[in-house]
Each structure stands twice: as C-alpha cells, then as structure tokens.
A and B are shown apart, each in its own frame.
Chain A
Amino acid sequence: MMHIATGTLAALDASGLDRPQRGRAAAHLASCARCRERLAWVREVRRAARAAVTEPMPAPAGAWERIRERFERGDVVLLPPLEEPPARAPRRRAAWAAALVLLAAAGAAAAMPASPVRDWLVRAWSAVRTPAPEAPPTEAPPAVSAPAAPEAVLLVAADAGAVTIAVERPGADVRIRVREWDGAEVEVRATGAAAGATFRSAPGRLAIVGPQSGEIRLALPAAVERATLEVDGVTLLVKSGGALRVLTPGASSAGAEVVLPARSGAP
C-alpha cells in the first residue's frame, strides 16, 4: 500500500492541498492506521513547535547592556530593506510574451525564401546598414546638450574576507555614500570630478587618490565579513559582520544609505 508522505500530511492538515488531493488523502486515511498515526504526529509536533513561541527563550543576560553601549558609541546597523519590491506588472509580462511570439513568427516567416516578411527584413536591414545622407545645414545653431556626468565604476573583491577602501587627499566637498547590497564584491561608483581621481587597487584594497569633488558611492556586500573605509589613513566606517559602525561625526542617513563627508569639517 502506498502511504502519504509526511510533508503531504502536514500540508493536508494546514489546508495546503487542493480539493481532489484532500479527497484522495481522506479516503486513504480512512483505511490506513499508519498514515493516521503520522498525521497525529504531525499535529503534535506542530503544537509543540508553536507552544515554544508562547514561551520564548530569554535573551542572554547582559545583552541589553552590550547593545546600549554600542548604541551610545554610535554603532549603526543597516537592516535589509523590509518593503517588498513591487510586483512586476502582468501586462508587461504579457507584452513581452507577445513580442517574443511575434519575433519567433517573424523569424520563421523570414526563413522562407519567397516570404514577403523576408523581403521586408532584407530592406529594413539594408536601410540600417546604409549610411543616411547628410542632413542639409540648418541656419539654427545645433542644440548643445548637457554633457553626461562622468562616472567611474569599479568592483573590489574581498581578500580573506576583508576589503578596504582608502580615499586619499579628497577635496573638501567630496561626499561618500555607503549602503549594503547583495552583490559579491564592493561596488565603487565615483561621479562628478571624483570620477577623474586616480584609482589604485591591490588584493582586498582600493585607493582613490585625489578626488576633488562629487560623490563616491560604496555598496558593501552583506556577506563580506569586514569592510573598512579610510580617509587619509583615518577610519571613518567599519562593517563587521552585519554591523556598520560609523566612527566620524557629521554622518547622516538618507534612506538605506549612510552619508559621510570625506573631510570631517565639511558640512
């Protein structure tokens, strides 16, 4: 006789099965003492497990004093974001699916030698590859678009679980933003004049030399054991495990980011 798996019995007891599955399970349970015994065991384990919640274990003695000391010392911990990411719109998914179907159909049609779709694709491809004739000169001066802000992006891997980002000789108005992310490496994103700084890397270390202004954004991996941010040899911030300790005055928070002036005297 085939028996019902323990997990299925647990789902049955928690109304986690659909109606036909429930019907089949009920019919089997009516004639199987072994599965009835298992179901009783599932209920007992569940009851005991939930009873544990109403009788919580006491937090370790002295834990509050240690937390209080760290709180007063300025330790900061960035908890993972609690808001759920917005669900992707079903319409967009449907649109992508439709586009893929159309693409596949177009591809199939284009493969046929006499297909009008093939002719259309050949003409379209030729148009793309043929350089467009130069536009006649216009009297109006060409519009000047704002240059895109320069940006330098680097990834720094930890060495033996540790990584150090060292900023050297920063300008007075350089700002450093720090957040956590799920990536495996430290992402360093320098924007504005900071993108023109000199970057020097070594295992587990990146030096950013001479950023004059702009922002340096650091994304620290949640999984990295230790990350340190130094400015001119002074440690401003340490991430140790899940705790982020800010060691400089003038730090503030913006959403999930900690914002630090590169120079402690800067606003």
Chain B
Amino acid sequence: MRNAGASVGSGTISEHQDGGELLRRVRQGSVDALGELYRAHADAVYTLALRLTGSRADAEDVLHDVFLGLPRAAASYRERGRFAAWLGRATARAALMRMRARRCKRESPLEEAGSPAAARGAHPVDRIALERALARLPAPLRVVFVLKEIEGYSHEEIGGMLGITAANSAQRLSRAWKHLRREMTR
C-alpha cells in the first residue's frame, strides 16, 4: 500500500478528494463517503491484512476493523502525508492487534485464498511458491518481511509499530529471508 500509493485498489482517488472532503464526510457519519473510500482502498487493505495475518477470516475482520474504525481514527489524520500510507499504517496496526488477540491463529494457507494474480499467470511459479513460503513463515518474521519488503517501511518505523528496536526488526528480516530461502529451494 505504501509502495503503490493511492492508486492501489480498484480505482484511483485523488489525495485532495479522499484526504479532505471524503474524510470529513466519514467523520460526520456519511455511509456513502465511507463506501467511496471502501471502493478505492478495500482491496489494498485486504491484501495487506491477508499478508500480515495469513488468514482470510482474520483479513476480513481487519477490513471491518479498519473501515468501521475510520470515522474515529480519521480525527487523527492530519493530512500531512498521503492518505494511502496513513491507511496502510492503520491496517498494519489493526492486523497486529488482531494477531495478538488471536495469538496468531492461522486458518488456511494463502495459496488457497484464490489469488487472482496467480490465476492470471503473472509470475505463476514464483508467486505461488512465494505465497506458500510467506504463509509458512512464523508470524513475527512474516510481519516484518511484509512491512519492510512489500510495504517499504523502514526498520525504525516497523520497530515503532511492533514495539521492538530497529536492530531487532533487521534481525527478524534476516531470519525471514533465511526461512524463505529454505522453503522455496527445498
């Protein structure tokens, strides 16, 4: 979400539109405005949540949490940065909260989640093997891998989200790469 910016999702929405007017309407309780934000960002939120939690059910719960939490959380959005990046952080934190609550319970491997990318044949072998290997990573390692390598957060930012040091985040990333290598090359 952070790498891809606001154009991620099924539609592109301008920062002015979603960062300003739409959020104001969401804060006021407009379900139509919330629906517009959902249509623009739901896929990106769900994808990130699925990668972090490794469970479709948990990812949908996170999707619910994020969009039902938007009206209140929007009050802390200061329009200093891009809305998509802010929403990415909100999603990551909501996913981490849910993972702590569920003690990282996993349901089904990601390759069974019906990834359209795999179905479309984009890097089919790499993608399927990667999804499977990511799903098998221990949750603390997967979270750091997704946030650093896919979402583009710095180790300092990840440390802030997870309550660990930047060095610890770097260490977990290194271990994640080691696990991935072992999973994908055996």
Contacts and interface: CB of A to CB of B under 8 A. Distances in A.
Interface stretch (A60-68, A108-116, A128-136, A211-219): A60-68
Given A10-B173, A72-B31, A49 B47 contact: no
B1 interface: yes
Contact of A77 (B8, B31, B68): B68
Contact of A49 (B62, B65, B76, B150): B150
Contacts of B38: 64, 67
Contact of B101 (A11, A76, A241, A256): A241
Interface string B163-183: 000000010011111101100
A58 B1 CA distance: 14
A45 interface: yes
Interface of B: 1, 3-4, 8-10, 31, 34-35, 38-39, 42-47, 50-51, 56, 60-69, 72-73, 76-77, 86, 89-90, 93-94, 96-98, 100-102, 113-117, 120, 122-123, 126-127, 130, 134, 149-151, 160, 170, 173-178, 180-181, 184-185
Given A51-B123, A63-B42, 7 more contacts: A53-B151, A55-B117, A55-B122, A57-B47, A57-B117, A76-B68, A80-B93
A8 interface: yes
B76 A83 contact: yes
B9 A10 contact: no
A84 B116 CA distance: 35
Contact of A67 (B63, B100, B123, B130): B63
A70 B134 CA distance: 32
A84 B127 contact: no
A243 B101 CA distance: 12
A66 B64 contact: yes
A210 interface: no
